[in-house]
Amino acid sequence: MVIDANIDYFVAIAEGRRAMPFKQWWDANASQLENELPRTQFLRLKMQSFDEICRILDERGIEYSKSFDNSNIRASRLPMSHDSIERDPEIAPLIDEADKMTEEELANEKRRMGFCHLYWRTKKRILKEEFGIDWKTPAEMNPGVMFD
């Protein structure tokens, strides 16, 4: 009977009659997203709002479950600070370009624990050297958070 209840629950979600909390939504979609997105974009995606995640995935033509209870997103995510320059519409394309350059530069690096710090240092250097932008990394913006 428990199995039937679970099947009914997921059928209801699939049909849009019921939504799931963000954590369940993420768990249900994360492995597919991790396989279809570059690693750094996948990691950045986790920090976005649900609507922004959907927009990005729609742009890339990636199929995913859109059934989600928006009321649970804040409770299921840590509040993270981001450098305000990331929201500047004139600077955002430069940050995207720096992400591409960082990906290229680190293409042969192993993606293991602590890689995010190497990525952010490299991105910070590229933004400064190539575009004259002083950018604060997520680690700098969130000193109380331990990043792997």
pLDDT in tens, 8-61: 444 444 445 445 556 666 666 676 677 777 777 777 777 777 667 777 777 776
What mean pLDDT comes out for the span 102-108? 92
What mean pLDDT comes out for the span 77-84? 68
The share of the chain scoring above pLDDT 90, in percent, equals 24
pTM of the complete model beyond 0.75 = no
What was the pLDDT predicted at 97? 94
What was the pLDDT predicted at 23? 62
What was the pLDDT predicted at 70? 46
- Residue 4's SS3 state is helix
Which residue type occupies 41? Q
Name the residue among 109, 99, 123, 127 with its Cα closest to residue 37: 99
Q: List the chain domain ranges.
A: 1-77, 82-148
Alpha carbons 51 and 119: distance in angstroms, whole number:
26
Q: Mean pLDDT for the chain?
A: 72
